Chain A
Amino acid sequence: MKYRLIGVVLIALALGLSSDAFATPSNLLNVLRQASLVFLSASGLTLVIVGAGLDLSVGANLGLSACFAAAAIKATGTLFAGFSAGLACGIIVGLMNGLMVTKLRLPPFIATYGMLWMLYGVNYWYMKGDTIYGFPSEFRSLGSGDLLGIPIPVYLMAIGLLAGGIFTRYTTFGHEVYAIGSNAEAARLSGIPVSSRLILLYTLSGAMAGLAGVIYLARLNSAEAGIGSPLLLPAIAAVLIGGTSLFGGNGGLAGTMIGAIILTLVLNGMNLLGINSNWQPLVTGVIILLAALIDSLTRGHAELRA
């Protein structure tokens, strides 16, 4: 894990030297706030990928959950209804993904890719090009407020990280996820109920996407059918940059947090330095590849020494 931090430290160091505005407490908190939203959308996904699965529907699920939550708050005037609607949507979608992968034996990529399009379809039909906007300030503070000077989404990230750490390290289910990810057949033969574990994992991923949808809603103060689609690839990238392998069996949430921070730092740095918009995609690509390269070099070196 500590080797993955090198990328973050190097990027931060470079930015600190080139921009006065970077290494200020308020900007670092700003980066953490932005990263925590990426983290939330990628957290459940991380565990699915550890279990050698994939969930391409997280962005679409997040978007639909946000829209349902928005509609529920508007219809009932209560925040609880919004939370319930968003979370319920996320959980149902996740459960359906899990059932498709285990009971119908569809490959995760195809099952969740199909789900992605179905969710877009439902959302387009439901929203009809509309935007639902204007929410009470106590709800919005979930996404944009502070508590004791620290952004509220950062607390949520800390809770997610802690819960995920306990889950993967100290629970049987957690250990089983890594076993399934390393070799599902061996896991099954050793008595792990692989199907039911995978269903739970996909449901968890859906639930986290639903929760992230509610937090995005609070932050944006509006929901439209398209909000989830640009969030899918960054979520997957955060997981993979954080060192979790697409083949499963290793990695974890701490890595995903680092991946989310690296992705956030890139945009923050480009904005602070005023990099020309036309060059930004190229710069983003180069930095991500450099971060991955530093990671693989330092890890190779460490493994040689060990």
Chain B
Amino acid sequence: MTFGKELKFRFKCLGLLMFCLGVAGCGETKDASSGTKRETIALFTKNQTNPYFETVRVAAKAAAAEQGVDLKNYIPTSNDSIPEQMNQIEDAITSRPSAAVFIPVDAKAMIPGVEKFNAAGIPVVNLIDRADGGQFVSFLGCDDYAVAMNTAKYLLQKMNGKGNVIIIEGQGGSSNNQKRIAGFKKALEEFPNVKVLASQTGNFQRNMALQVTENLLQAHTQIDGILAANDAMALGAIEALDAANRKALVIGMNGTKEAIDAVKTGKLLATGDCDGFLQGCMGTMAAVRHLRNLPVPREVIFPITVFDSTNFKGADVPYEQRMCPKWESIVKD
């Protein structure tokens, strides 16, 4: 093949590819503009793998249907990818949604993204993870520090305020992790007879937490409690305990369905959470209320629940069957 021919061939391929993309693109816009002109809410979540964000998306979809608006999801294909979320913001701005509900993958790194929304005049509601800058209609979320502190306190009380614990940290550098670990440490300050044997990272991953717990079980003959910075790691730690025939009280965070099931069977002591379903509902409703000139407070902090064997009921109802609460029942003027 001569150079010219090869070049031509490549252009043909490129043309074919662009044609395919064009067709796909058309399909998408048709979807969005079907029916009468409806408002569109762009929802930005952090990844496709954490069940917590799937809960948020299911709830947002329910709220959007109730409010009669369209919902468009933007989810990075690489988990919590900063550049990808930044690109998705630019993509969203070109299709001009009425408003955005935004969960930043990183509190600081996404500030320029929020500023792009601001410059384009698209109102943004900040949900779940607080961004450190940019203009928002409102922040609705949960105080991770307080959730971690309350859940840890619950564990330490169950241990009668004495014994040995290990901490399984999340990903270093993540602001969620920093808040959660700070919450754990604050709770531990109140229980001077509890000794922290080790605080090691499990990167928010089940497999790594399993491996780290196996290693720590080798190093320490008596571990009474395990504080994990999310549910997946707590469940990984439980697998390690089971395999080694050891017992310890374990807590996690997020209130995922799997964790609630583990609470039900008594394997997990508790999981702390601000209900992801409630947050997905309220975030979407806040955006719609703003579009319809209804009052939205600058800040809504959701109540914290520590799910244990006494109060898990209701949390184990499949999300698809749940209904969003009334705005007024959560936000009192």
Q: Which A residues have a C-beta under 8 Å from some C-beta of B?
A: 19, 21, 24, 26-27, 30, 33-34, 117, 120-121, 124, 127-131, 133-134, 144-145, 216, 219-222, 224-227, 229-231, 267-268, 270-272, 274, 277-278, 280-281
Contact of B51 among A19, A129, A220, A272 (CB under 8 A): A129
Task: List B contacts of A267 (CB < 8 A).
Answer: 211-212, 215
Asked whether, in the complex, the Cβ of A144 is within 8 Å of the Cβ of B198, the reply is no
B172 at the binding interface (Cβ < 8 Å): yes
In the bound complex, what is the Cα–Cα distance between A145 and B49 (angstroms)? 28
Some 14 contacts from A to B, beta carbons below 8 A apart, are A26-B218, A33-B214, A129-B49, A220-B206, A222-B258, A224-B49, A224-B206, A231-B207, A267-B215, A272-B219, A277-B172, A277-B199, A277-B200, A280-B201
The minimal Cβ–Cβ distance linking B259 to chain A, given in whole angstroms, is 10
Asked whether, in the complex, the Cβ of B214 is within 8 Å of the Cβ of A30, the reply is yes
In the bound complex, what is the Cα–Cα distance between A230 and B206 (angstroms)? 11
Asked whether, in the complex, the Cβ of A271 is within 8 Å of the Cβ of B219, the reply is yes
Q: Which residue of B lies closest to A275 (CB)?
A: B200
Task: List B contacts of A130 (CB < 8 A).
Answer: 51, 54
In the bound complex, what is the Cα–Cα distance between A267 and B208 (angstroms)? 10
Q: Which residue of B lies closest to A144 (CB)?
A: B243
Asked whether, in the complex, the Cβ of B49 is within 8 Å of the Cβ of A226, the reply is yes
Asked whether, in the complex, the Cβ of B198 is within 8 Å of the Cβ of A274, the reply is yes
Asked whether, in the complex, the Cβ of B207 is within 8 Å of the Cβ of A230, the reply is yes
In the bound complex, what is the Cα–Cα distance between A216 and B53 (angstroms)? 24
Task: List A contacts of B54 (CB < 8 A).
Answer: 128-130
Task: List A contacts of B201 (CB < 8 A).
Answer: 277, 280
Task: List A contacts of B165 (CB < 8 A).
Answer: none
Q: Apart from A30-B214, A221-B239, A271-B200, what 6 extra A-B contacts exist at CB < 8 Å?
A: A21-B220, A129-B51, A131-B51, A133-B258, A145-B243, A267-B211
Asked whether, in the complex, the Cβ of A30 is within 8 Å of the Cβ of B53, the reply is no
Asked whether, in the complex, the Cβ of B208 is within 8 Å of the Cβ of A230, the reply is yes
In the bound complex, what is the Cα–Cα distance between A291 and B247 (angstroms)? 37
Task: List B contacts of A219 (CB < 8 A).
Answer: 210, 239
Task: List A contacts of B236 (CB < 8 A).
Answer: 220
In the bound complex, what is the Cα–Cα distance between A120 and B49 (angstroms)? 10
Task: List B contacts of A272 (CB < 8 A).
Answer: 215, 218-219
Asked whether, in the complex, the Cβ of B207 is within 8 Å of the Cβ of A220, the reply is yes
B299 at the binding interface (Cβ < 8 Å): no
Task: List A contacts of B47 (CB < 8 A).
Answer: 226
B169 at the binding interface (Cβ < 8 Å): yes
In the bound complex, what is the Cα–Cα distance between A245 and B150 (angstroms)? 52
Asked whether, in the complex, the Cβ of A278 is within 8 Å of the Cβ of B53, the reply is no
Asked whether, in the complex, the Cβ of B211 is within 8 Å of the Cβ of A34, the reply is yes
Asked whether, in the complex, the Cβ of B203 is within 8 Å of the Cβ of A230, the reply is yes
B205 at the binding interface (Cβ < 8 Å): yes
3 closest A-B pairs by beta carbon, nearest first, are: A129-B54, A226-B49, A271-B215
Asked whether, in the complex, the Cβ of A129 is within 8 Å of the Cβ of B218, the reply is no
Asked whether, in the complex, the Cβ of B242 is within 8 Å of the Cβ of A117, the reply is no
The minimal Cβ–Cβ distance linking A304 to chain B, given in whole angstroms, is 39
Q: How many B residues, CB 8 Å from partner?
A: 41
In the bound complex, what is the Cα–Cα distance between A134 and B243 (angstroms)? 14
The minimal Cβ–Cβ distance linking B313 to chain A, given in whole angstroms, is 19
B77 at the binding interface (Cβ < 8 Å): yes
Task: List A contacts of B215 (CB < 8 A).
Answer: 27, 30, 267-268, 271-272
Task: List A contacts of B57 (CB < 8 A).
Answer: 129
Task: List B contacts of A270 (CB < 8 A).
Answer: 200
In the bound complex, what is the Cα–Cα distance between A227 and B235 (angstroms)? 14
Asked whether, in the complex, the Cβ of A34 is within 8 Å of the Cβ of B214, the reply is yes
Asked whether, in the complex, the Cβ of A230 is within 8 Å of the Cβ of B211, the reply is no
Task: List A contacts of B216 (CB < 8 A).
Answer: 271
Asked whether, in the complex, the Cβ of A274 is within 8 Å of the Cβ of B261, the reply is no
Within 8 A of A (CB), among B13-66: 47-51, 53-55, 57
In the bound complex, what is the Cα–Cα distance between A131 and B262 (angstroms)? 13
B271 at the binding interface (Cβ < 8 Å): no
Q: With A30-B215, A225-B49 in contact, do A117 and B239 touch (Cβ < 8 Å)? A: no
Contact of A281 among B49, B172, B210, B220 (CB under 8 A): B172
Q: Which residue of B lies closest to A228 (CB)?
A: B207
Asked whether, in the complex, the Cβ of B77 is within 8 Å of the Cβ of A271, the reply is no
In the bound complex, what is the Cα–Cα distance between A267 and B169 (angstroms)? 14
Asked whether, in the complex, the Cβ of A277 is within 8 Å of the Cβ of B210, the reply is no
Asked whether, in the complex, the Cβ of B239 is within 8 Å of the Cβ of A220, the reply is yes
Q: With A220-B236, A230-B208, A277-B172 in contact, do A129 and B214 touch (Cβ < 8 Å)? A: no
The minimal Cβ–Cβ distance linking A32 to chain B, given in whole angstroms, is 12
Asked whether, in the complex, the Cβ of A124 is within 8 Å of the Cβ of B210, the reply is no
Task: List B contacts of A19 (CB < 8 A).
Answer: 219
In the bound complex, what is the Cα–Cα distance between A212 and B170 (angstroms)? 25
Q: Which residue of A lies closest to B56 (CB)?
A: A129
The minimal Cβ–Cβ distance linking A158 to chain B, given in whole angstroms, is 20
B284 at the binding interface (Cβ < 8 Å): no
Asked whether, in the complex, the Cβ of A227 is within 8 Å of the Cβ of B206, the reply is yes
Asked whether, in the complex, the Cβ of B205 is within 8 Å of the Cβ of A230, the reply is yes
Asked whether, in the complex, the Cβ of B77 is within 8 Å of the Cβ of A220, the reply is no
Asked whether, in the complex, the Cβ of A144 is within 8 Å of the Cβ of B239, the reply is yes
Task: List B contacts of A134 (CB < 8 A).
Answer: 261
| Contact digits for B131-147, partner A, Cβ 8 Å, 1 yes 0 no | 00000000000000000
Task: List B contacts of A121 (CB < 8 A).
Answer: 77
In the bound complex, what is the Cα–Cα distance between A220 and B77 (angstroms)? 23
The minimal Cβ–Cβ distance linking B217 to chain A, given in whole angstroms, is 8
The minimal Cβ–Cβ distance linking B244 to chain A, given in whole angstroms, is 9
Asked whether, in the complex, the Cβ of A120 is within 8 Å of the Cβ of B50, the reply is no
Asked whether, in the complex, the Cβ of B77 is within 8 Å of the Cβ of A30, the reply is no
Task: List B contacts of A117 (CB < 8 A).
Answer: 77
